[in-house]
């Protein structure tokens, strides 16, 4: 669901995104609203997770620089229909609601999700403008059985796309989390809307932390933002003049990488992807445990197989495990 367009808040954010201080009076004049209304909207923007400094006599300023997403630019550099909804409940849910009328490859991006979700209904923390929330609808002719492999393939595509943009050392945690130095950078959620005539209607969604405030509540595991990952490189190509990270360039790169990987997967299945996965597996040859409901298995991680199952070596030998209810944890 797209909430009623919060036009005034978005207009204020566009003004503040230009940088510097903007007085309540100036904002009010530009938008044709009172200063009291400006102050109310600033509170609402704060509730979206945006930090704003407010200084007597000077006005309001963003705590962190922000370059907003630009749907036109993204659409012109990709071959996918791209929909930008700055404020939405969940980009995955938005596409799931309308798979019947979508072209395969259609992408939805947002600046803020009020009900971003992870696996098994867990919350995905989605403050405004700080991260990427990107979903793509894909019609998979091979049907549901092939969906597991597909969810691994898109993770490989994202890490490789980051590498080609000069971001090294991002790794994968089975089945589809991105890690940097054992901290969660991004999560991927593949959801199935149904099957028609053998084809599966899938929505692939990714949330990647780009410049999230360290004070953000609600995350109960170590996490990292891409901004920190590229911090050592002063002139990193993803850095914009204000110092923030170029989310538009990242969107283009990820959409293109997903489309290529999904087509390759449809033609060749997991062939070739197993080696690509294992090269960037965060836990390869490290001690791990697999949690399956009440059951836990500890052993050494040995990557994945051609079915997309995770391999764990125990005293009984190497076992393959697959299924949406499994969680992998490092030991
Ligand atoms: P697994 O998928 O292996 O069961 P997980 O703990 O990563 O493990 P997910 O459902 O994949 O679980 O992701 C949801 C979890 O991710 C939330 O419970 C929360 O701890 C964490 N999380 C939520 N938002 C973010 C975010 N923006 N960045 C990093 N982690 C987040
Ligand atoms: C996970 O690690 O559990 C997966 C998190 C997936 C989050 C993304 S953000 C874009 C898309 N919309 C959602 O509601 N979830 C996914």
Average pLDDT, integer, range 17-29: 95
Residue 250 shares a structural domain with residue 107: yes
Q: Is residue 2 part of a domain?
A: no
Distance in angstroms (rounded) separating the CA atoms of residues 89 and 92: 9
Catalytic residue flag (residue 7) = no
CB 79 within 8 A of CB 252: no
Residue 306 shares a structural domain with residue 158: no
Residue 26 shares a structural domain with residue 90: no
Residue 21 shares a structural domain with residue 166: no
Given ligand 1 and candidates 49, 92, 118, 228, which is best to mutate, with the most ligand atoms within 8 Å of its CB?
A: 118
Q: Is residue 216 part of a domain?
A: yes
Per the structure, the count of domains in the chain is 3
Given ligand 1 and candidates 48, 49, 110, 122, which is best to mutate, with the most ligand atoms within 8 Å of its CB?
A: 122
198 — pLDDT class (breaks 50, 70, 90): confident
92 — pLDDT class (breaks 50, 70, 90): very high
Q: Is residue 57 part of a domain?
A: yes
Q: Is residue 1 part of a domain?
A: no
Nearest atom in ligand 2 to 177's CA: 2
Residue 163 shares a structural domain with residue 272: yes
- What share of the chain has pLDDT > 70, as a percent? 98
pLDDT at position 145, please?
85
Nearest Cα residue to 41 out of 16, 21, 63, 66: 16
Here the CATH number for the domain that contains residue 304 is: 2.30.30.100
91 is in an annotated binding site: yes
pLDDT at position 163, please?
96
Nearest atom in ligand 2 to 91's CA: 12
Residue 170 shares a structural domain with residue 218: yes
Q: Are strands 131-140 and 199-209 parallel, antiparallel or unpaired?
A: antiparallel
For ligand 1, say whether the CB of 309 is within 6 Å of any of its atoms.
no
Here the CATH number for the domain that contains residue 42 is: 1.10.10.10
Domain boundary among 62, 82, 97: 62
Specify the range with the lowest mean pLDDT, choosing from 67-71, 89-93, 148-152, 229-233. 229-233
Average pLDDT, integer, range 151-160: 96
Q: Is residue 305 part of a domain?
A: yes
Q: Is 33 exposed, middle or buried (0-12, 13-18, 19+ CB in 10 A)?
A: middle
Residue 166 shares a structural domain with residue 248: yes
Average pLDDT, integer, range 96-117: 96
Residue 105 shares a structural domain with residue 245: yes
Tens digits of per-residue pLDDT, 35-46? 999 999 999 999
4 is in an annotated binding site: no
Tens digits of per-residue pLDDT, 269-317? 998 999 999 999 999 999 999 999 999 999 999 999 999 999 999 999 9
Residue 160 shares a structural domain with residue 296: no
Here the CATH number for the domain that contains residue 237 is: 3.30.930.10
> Which pair of structure tokens corresponds to residue 236?
């990193």
184 is in an annotated binding site: yes
Average pLDDT, integer, range 202-206: 97
Residue 255 shares a structural domain with residue 303: no
Catalytic residue flag (residue 40) = no
Average model confidence (pLDDT) across the chain: 93
Residue 171 shares a structural domain with residue 54: no
Structural domain containing residue 304? 283-327
Residue 99 shares a structural domain with residue 247: yes
Query: CA torsion, points 306, 256, 119, 181, in degrees to nearest 10?
Result: 80
Distance in angstroms (rounded) separating the CA atoms of residues 41 and 276: 47
Q: Is residue 166 part of a domain?
A: yes
For ligand 1, say whether the CB of 329 is within 6 Å of any of its atoms.
no
**With 90 as the cut, is the pLDDT of residue 186 above it?**
yes
Strand ranges, E, within 141-271: 170-173, 177-180, 183-196, 199-209
Residues whose beta carbon lies within 6 Å of some atom of ligand 2: 90-92, 113, 116-119, 124, 133, 135, 177, 187-189, 205-207
pLDDT at position 235, please?
78
- Which of the two residues, 93 and 120, has the higher pLDDT score? 93
Q: Whose CA is nearest to atom 2 of ligand 2?
A: 187
For ligand 1, say whether the CB of 155 is within 6 Å of any of its atoms.
no
């Amino acid at each position: 669901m797209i909430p009623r367009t919060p036009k005034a808040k978005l207009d204020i954010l566009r003004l503040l995104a230009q940088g510097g201080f903007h007085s309540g009076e100036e904002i009010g004049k530009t938008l044709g609203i009172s200063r009291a209304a400006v102050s109310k909207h600033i509170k609402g923007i704060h509730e979206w997770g945006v930090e704003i400094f407010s200084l007597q006599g000077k006005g309001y300023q963003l705590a962190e620089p922000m370059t907003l997403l630009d749907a036109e630019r993204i659409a012109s550099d990709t071959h996918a229909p791209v929909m930008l909804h700055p404020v939405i409940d969940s980009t995955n849910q938005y596409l799931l609601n309308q798979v019947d009328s979508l072209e395969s490859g259609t992408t939805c991006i947002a600046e803020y999700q009020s009900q971003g979700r992870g696996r098994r209904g867990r919350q995905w923390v989605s403050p405004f403008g700080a991260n990427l929330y990107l979903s793509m609808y894909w019609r998979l002719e091979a049907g549901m059985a092939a969906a597991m492999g597909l969810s691994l393939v898109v993770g490989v595509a994202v890490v490789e796309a980051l590498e080609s943009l000069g971001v090294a050392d991002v790794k994968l945690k089975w089945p589809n989390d991105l890690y940097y130095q054992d901290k969660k950078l991004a999560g991927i959620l593949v959801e199935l809307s149904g099957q028609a005539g053998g084809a599966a209607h899938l929505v692939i969604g990714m949330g990647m932390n780009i410049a999230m405030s360290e004070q953000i509540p609600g995350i109960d595991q170590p996490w990292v933002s891409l901004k920190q990952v590229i911090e050592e490189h002063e002139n990193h190509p993803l850095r914009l003049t204000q110092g923030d990270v170029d989310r538009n360039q990242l969107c283009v790169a990820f959409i293109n990488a997903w489309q290529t990987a999904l087509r390759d997967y449809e033609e060749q299945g997991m062939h070739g992807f197993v080696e690509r996965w294992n090269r960037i597996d965060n836990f390869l040859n490290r001690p791990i445990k697999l949690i399956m409901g009440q059951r836990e298995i500890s052993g050494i991680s040995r990557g994945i197989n051609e079915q997309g199952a995770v391999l764990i070596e125990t005293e009984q030998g190497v076992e393959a495990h697959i299924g949406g209810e499994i969680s992998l944890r490092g030991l």
